[in-house]
Structure 1
């Protein structure tokens, strides 16, 4: 019989008597040696921007961009996500035309809307202090991901960037996290995957990584049942507890 070990984080500051401690979570099966980040919605608030893009594109066509459609598109490579929208509303646009319009609208909005997610910089500093490695695995295209990282001055903070062009199967298939671990030269069990979407979490879990969900407001209702735990933000102390071993 295997007995699962658990970590019970210690709260940073004592609170009122009615406050409950954070729930226990399973300890990693192996020491964590690297952290692999998703990008959209996890490191940067692009899901906020895409909400505006989707709303505008559908408005131009007399359609709605509701939560169901947004959820179906989330976590998919760009063209796959747009194909969902075309089928959802039976649009007459070609995939190429809608992709071009979507990209142009996105970069117009990014100028004023893009920002990093709460706790990101502090977590990156903590990872560096522990001497752990960092990589990114995103469903986005390489040119897109590189441009986003440059705009938030994070393009030199990671060992490598794994993108849609490096894989055959998108999330929730585990390929991207398996390849990231291979490139790190580590078993997937020694990697911590941070994801904000259901599809991303499924990919991390299927790859065998220690997977933590960090949902944004756009993915709070996703099914994260496979994740080791659901963090409040990237500043959640449980993430650092796992990294520190």
Structure 2
């Protein structure tokens, strides 16, 4: 089929975290392999790891145990894995291009700031006479709250770009059990958190105005099922594992959720999803995104906004 080319500009970017923003996938593998080695098992192959990525913990653990057949109770395995993860997740760091991408998208807040006359910066025609708009962002990760805090402990300022009410984590009670990725619920909820907090009079954002950033195959399917555009930025070994099936992945047609709601899936070469080896030099113009100049960061209103978000996050952390 001919790929669609008449997409509206992106107004919201929704991000996975593990393996997409932070280099945690190799840490996950390290921790699992240490346990497998302890019980005389072979290391975790990418054919199995690919099925675990992006899924909620209970589902991923069930798939893992079906393959590993460890001689211990699942509860004992979880206890050992949790201890290893708490130790090693502290070393997680942003993947290439992430810091600039999040910084650029965060800077689009400047378009919404008004001057003393009440005129939005985005309405002043700074860019070719065209009105510009903020790109709202939200986090949608299968990581639980406790794991999120460990993984991001050294990167609180980087993650402050995600306002606390626009973070949907793996233990969010608003997502029903069994409705994690590859089903669309987490991304639809992430969009709802944005729409529920838009400025008065701002038109609600539709799914096709959203761009999902994912590294996992189940995550791509979740984004496609949500009716959103998708950027797939996988681990090189995952890309190698599925070599030749990239088009099926981008269409969300790898059967990760079985036969559930087939009408939600995309079509091969429909233009809704694309592969990128990493997030460096992201082509904003391709998605109708305009990033304000770097000088916008010097605007006093931007500095106050950032400080308010950091204070709010630190307060939340110390009281929970």
TM-score, length basis structure 2: 0.64
Residue 71 of structure 1 pairs with residue 50 of structure 2: yes
CA distance in 1, matches of 2:41, 2:50: 16
Superposition deviation, residue 228 in structure 1: 1.4
Identify the match of residue 49 of structure 1 among 15, 27, 31: 27
Q: Residue in 2 aligned with 1:4? A: 4
SS of residue matched to 1:164: coil
Matches within 5 A, 1:1-245: 4-5=4-5, 29-64=7-42, 65-111=44-90, 113-130=91-108, 131-153=134-156, 154-159=158-163, 160-166=166-172, 167-168=175-176, 169-185=179-195, 186-220=205-239, 221-222=241-242, 223=246, 224-226=249-251, 228-239=273-284, 241-244=286-289
CA distance in 1, matches of 2:233, 2:45: 22
Deviations 1:92-148, CA, capped at 9 Å, x for gaps: 32222211111111122233x311100001111221233311111011112211332
Q: Unpaired segments of 5 or more residues in structure 2? A: 109-133, 196-204, 252-271, 291-320
TM-score, length basis structure 1: 0.82
SS of residue matched to 2:238: coil
Runs (4+) of structure 1 moved beyond 4 Å?
Answer: none
Which structure has the larger Rg? 2
RMSD: 2.0
Q: Unpaired segments of 5 or more residues in structure 1? A: 6-26
SS of residue matched to 1:219: helix
Equivalenced residue count is 221
Superposition deviation, residue 198 in structure 1: 0.5
8 Å contact 2:46–2:238 — kept in the other structure? Answer: no
Superposition deviation, residue 3 in structure 1: 8.0
